[in-house]
Amino acid sequence: MKFLVKYKILLILLALLMMHIFLRSYQMEARNQFTWDQVDNAWAAKNIIIDYKYPLVGMQAKQNSGFYIGPLYYYFIAPFYFAFNLDPIASGFIALATSIITFFVFFYVFKKLFSTSFALIGLAIYVFSFSFIVADRVQWPINFIPIISLLIFFSLYRIMIGEKKYLIHLGIFLGLSLHLNFTSIFLLIITVLCLPFFNWNRGLIKYGLVSVILFFIFLAPNIIYEIQNKYSSQQNLTKYLTTYYHGFHFVRFFQLSKDAFTEVADIIYISFLKPLRYLILPIFLILYNFKNRSKEKMVVSYLVVLWFVVPWIIFSLYKGEITNYYFSLTRPIAIIVFTYLVLKIYFMKNIFPKIVIFGLGIYYVIFNFIIFYNARFEGLDFHRKKVMKEINKGKKIEFTQGVPESYIYYIYTRNNNNEK
C-alpha cells in the first residue's frame, strides 16, 4: 500500500502510457492507413536506403504546388524502413513512435506550465480521445506539428518571462517546423507578434543571433535546392500565393470559426455539444485571469489567443481548400484550455461538481473506447490482399505515384527476386 501511495504518479503515468500504446497499435495492419502520403514517404525511404539518394527537400507543401518542406522527416523515417526491410508496416511503427514522443512532450510541458496533476489529466484527455487516436495513427510529418507547436509555445513563454536562453530552443524548433508542413508559417508569425514583449538587452540579442543562425542551418537544404534549381520553388510559391490570396473578408472569417476551434470540438466530440467550442476559450481566459493575476498568466493568455486567432485570420485570406489538420498546431493548446476548465470545476468546494467531473470522465473514456473499437478502416492489410490477388493471377502492377499497391508490389517482387 505504501508503495502505491509513494509511486502513484509514476503508476498513473505508466497506466496512461500502456493505454496510449494499445490504442495506437491495436490491429495496426487493419486500422493504420497506407495511402498517398505514406506511399510517398515509403518511396523516399527506399530511395535513401537502396538507391543512396539523399534529398534536399521533403514533400510538396501543397499537392502540385511546386514548393517543398524540408527533408528531415524523410531521414527520420528511413531507419524504420531499414529495420523492417522496406515493408510498409514500418509506417505504423513510425506513427506509434511519433505518438509516444508526443505523449512525453505533452506531459513534460504541461507539468512545467501548470502541475503534475494537470499534466496527467491533460494526458488522459489526449490518450482516450478518438479523434486524437485516429490522427496519431496516420503516419506523416503532420504528427510532429502538435509537438513542435507546444515546444514553441513553451519556449516563447519562457522568453517572455525573462529566460533568454530559450531563444536557442526557439530557433531550433522553428527550424524543425519548416520540415513538417506549410502551416509552420503560423508559428513564425506568432513569434514575430511576440517580439515586442521580449525584454531586449545585450544578452537577449546575443542569444537571438545564435537562434537565427540555428534557424537558417535547418533551412540550408532548401536553400541549396533553390540555388541548384534556379529558385523554382520560390517562383512557384509566389504563383501559389498570388492565385489563392483574396484579401480579408468578414464572411470568410466567420465561415472558418468552426475550423479554428476544430481541435476543441474533437475533444467534446458529441455533435450536439460541439457548439460549446466557441465558449471554451473566452471562459478559460476569464477564469484563468479572474484571481491572482500575474505576468506569467498574462503571457499564457496572450499566447493561447495567438495560437487560435493567427491561423484563423491567415486562412481567412486564403481561398483554397481547408482541411482539419491545418489547425493541428492548436491541439495541445485546446487540451490545455480544456484541462484547466475540468480542474477548475473539480476543485470547487461543493462535492457535486466532483461527482459530475468524475462521472463525465468515466463516460468520456468508455464513449471514446467504444467508438474506437467499433470503427472500421481501410488499412494496410486491405492493400496487401489486393496486391496478392494480382500476383496470384500473374499480373504486374506498374508504378503509379501515390498508389499503395504499386509500392507493395515492388516490395513483394523485390523480396522474391532477392530470395532467388
Q: Which of 117-131, 194-208, 271-285 has the lowest mean pLDDT?
A: 271-285
**CA-based angle 74:80:86, to the nearest 5?**
90
Q: Tell me, what's the pLDDT at 368?
A: 92
Q: Annotate 306-324 with b (16+ C-beta within 10 A) or e (fewer).
A: bbbebbbebbbeeeeebee
Higher pLDDT, 116 or 256: 116
Model pLDDT for residues 137-146, shown as the tens digit of each residue: 999 999 999 9
**Secondary structure of 73-87 in HEC code, one letter for each residue:** HHHHHHHHHHHCCCC
Q: Taking 60 as the threshold, does the pLDDT of residue 420 lie above it?
A: no
| Overall average pLDDT of the 269-289 stretch | 85
| Overall average pLDDT of the 242-266 stretch | 85
Amino acid present at 381: D
| Overall average pLDDT of the 256-279 stretch | 84
Give the number of other CB atoms < 10 A from CB of residue 192. 10
Q: Taking 60 as the threshold, does the pLDDT of residue 418 lie above it?
A: no
- Distance, in Å, from the CA atom of 273 to the CA atom of 290, rounded to the nearest integer, reads 26
Q: Taking 80 as the threshold, does the pLDDT of residue 369 lie above it?
A: yes
Give the number of other CB atoms < 10 A from CB of residue 135. 21
| Overall average pLDDT of the 277-299 stretch | 91
Q: Taking 90 as the threshold, does the pLDDT of residue 61 lie above it?
A: no
Domain count, the chain: 1
DSSP string, 306-371: HHHHHHHHHHHTB-S---GGGGGGGHHHHHHHHHHHHHHHHTSSSHHHHHHHHHHHHHHHHHHHHH
Q: Tell me, what's the pLDDT at 1?
A: 66
Paired strand residues for 60 = 68
- Distance, in Å, from the CA atom of 138 to the CA atom of 353, rounded to the nearest integer, reads 37
| Overall average pLDDT of the 224-253 stretch | 82
Model pLDDT for residues 24-57, shown as the tens digit of each residue: 999 999 999 999 999 999 999 999 999 999 999 9
| Overall average pLDDT of the 153-166 stretch | 95
* Among the listed residues 188, 213, 208, 189, the one whose alpha carbon sits nearest the alpha carbon of residue 198: 208
Q: Considering the chain, what is the average pLDDT of its residues?
A: 91
Instruction: Please say whether the beta carbons of 315 and 263 come within 8 A.
Output: no
Q: Which of 191-200, 235-244, 300-309 has the lowest mean pLDDT?
A: 235-244
Grid look-up 539523399 returns 54
Three cell numbers at 77?
523515417
Higher pLDDT, 100 or 417: 100
- Distance, in Å, from the CA atom of 69 to the CA atom of 233, rounded to the nearest integer, reads 10
Q: Which of 193-202, 326-335, 366-375, 410-419 has the lowest mean pLDDT?
A: 410-419
Q: Which domain holds residue 312?
A: 2-419
Three cell numbers at 17?
502510457
Model pLDDT for residues 92-146, shown as the tens digit of each residue: 999 999 999 999 999 999 999 999 999 999 999 999 999 999 999 999 999 999 9
CA distances from residue 215 to 122, 149, 153, 168, 203 in whole angstroms, order as listed: 30, 15, 17, 9, 18
| Overall average pLDDT of the 204-224 stretch | 94
Q: Which of 47-51, 150-154, 274-278, 341-345 has the lowest mean pLDDT?
A: 274-278
- Distance, in Å, from the CA atom of 262 to the CA atom of 243, rounded to the nearest integer, reads 26
| Overall average pLDDT of the 409-415 stretch | 85
The pTM for the full model equals: 0.94
Higher pLDDT, 6 or 192: 192
Q: Is 27 left (phi over 0), alpha (psi -120 to 50) or beta?
A: left
88: CB partners within 8 A, 6+ apart: 34, 38, 42, 380, 404, 407, 408, 411
| Overall average pLDDT of the 81-90 stretch | 96
CA distances from residue 25 to 334, 347, 353, 370 in whole angstroms, order as listed: 24, 35, 35, 16
Q: Tell me, what's the pLDDT at 3?
A: 67
- Distance, in Å, from the CA atom of 287 to the CA atom of 18, rounded to the nearest integer, reads 34
